[in-house]
Structure 1
Amino acid sequence: MDSLETAVEDTRRWLERAVVGLNLCPFAKSVMVRKQVHITATEADDAQGLLDAFQQELDALLALDARERDTTLLVAPRGMEDFLEFLDLTARAERIVRKRGLEGVIQVAHFHPRFVFAGAQEDDITNCTNRSPHPTLHLLREASIDRAVAAFPDAAAIYEANMERLRGLGQKGWDALGVGKTP
């Protein structure tokens, strides 16, 4: 298996065991079960290459009906190790969405192996709610988010529940999930 396939498999394992398995996102299970999640990895190792891949995946997502592909995870296994640099790249991806008139249609989320919430310590276990095995841009359809939030009226409670769940799990418990990058 090449490194891009490995990155996709790492991400799928993280989704299954952490995101769905720990119910970090109560909306993820249904799209996973219906096979509406597209996971792909890019060979890009710099910001411009990743933004080009982002635009290709954005076009591909928009070209398909949501029943076929509801969401896309673009995995960047090379060149985006620095979290702050990746945050800058995420802001650039969000600007692309706005410039293309897709605000309210597509939302960009991000995950990173070194994710740290503002004001948190780097080793705070709660950062793991947004830690993925590889830097990842998540393209979500706003209509799907709206439906999910309507079905889960207290969406704000998800964040707090996730923090408590991870504090209870602890670093050893998180590590035992085996959701990191394949060596």
Structure 2
Amino acid sequence: MTQAIPSLSDDRVVAATRHWLERAVIGLNLCPFAKGVQAKGQIRYVVSDARNDDALLVDLERELQGLVAAAPEEVDTTLLIHPWVLTSFADFTHFLDLVDVVLGMQRLHGVLQVASFHPDYVFADTEPDDITNCSNRSPFPTLHLLREASLDRAVAAFPDAAAIYERNMQTLRDLGREGWLDLDVGAPPGENG
């Protein structure tokens, strides 16, 4: 189980997340849509200081509304990083049910969606040590808020978007555990004092 690092600064959390995005997500082309929004500076990185589910829900609601209100050319997607809450993957997956409820209550289904990333991510049909789980493993628990319209445009522009998942699984199998570790995309060690 991943443990939160309480002395880690927000700057280091964002830096580690950017490093993961650049080296793993974009570098391995796990998400062919990420490179464009990253290059245009349209990703908003938010570090939640929440220490419990209720506080994280407040942050999530604020960020969902903020993304809806922002001009897409300014902020197309938000990474809500929460290093101090939901560090257990089981707790994280249970929380995702609440995320869906919040989307419904705010009438955002079809407008926004939320993808999930976690340091201990495990797909339902895999073992915890299966390398393919790394496609959704991030340095810290992260909720990725996406605009449906942007996603629809990206999928329409990408030939055979349905094959992305299988291609990612093969990329990670070819890379192997040592290759993943060589990317050095985990959480950094905590700062002293």
> What TM-score, normalized to structure 1?
0.97
Q: Is residue 27 from structure 1 mapped to residue 27 from structure 2 by the alignment?
A: no
Contact map agreement 1:83 1:114 (CA 8 A) in 2: yes
TM-superposition CA deviations, 1:64-83 (whole Å, max 9, x none): 11000000000011121111
Secondary structure (helix, strand or coil) at the match of 1:6 reads helix
Q: Which moved more, 1:2-11 or 1:55-64?
A: 2-11
Please report how far the alpha carbon of residue 3 of structure 1 lies from its aligned counterpart in structure 2 after TM superposition: 2.1
Q: Is the 8 A contact 1:104 1:142 kept in 2?
A: yes
Over aligned residue pairs, what C-alpha RMSD do you find?
A: 1.1
1:63-74 alignment, distance < 5 Å: 63-74=69-80
- What's 1:177 paired with? 183
Paired AA for residue 120 in structure 1: T
Find the counterpart in structure 1 of residue 141 from structure 2. 135
Q: Equivalents in 1 of 2:159, 2:173: separation in Å?
A: 24
- Matched with 1:76 is 82
Partners of 1:20 and 1:111 in 2: CA distance: 15
* Residue 2 of structure 1: how far off its partner (Å): 5.0
Q: Which runs of 4+ in 1 moved over 4 A?
A: none
Quote the residue 2:45 is aligned against: 39
Pairs aligned (count)? 183
Check the 8 A contact 1:90/1:137 in 2, yes or no: no
Within 5 Å, give how 1:6-155 maps onto structure 2.
Answer: 6-155=12-161
Residue type of the partner of 2:57? L
Report the secondary structure of 2:129's partner residue. coil
The letter of the residue matching 1:19 is V
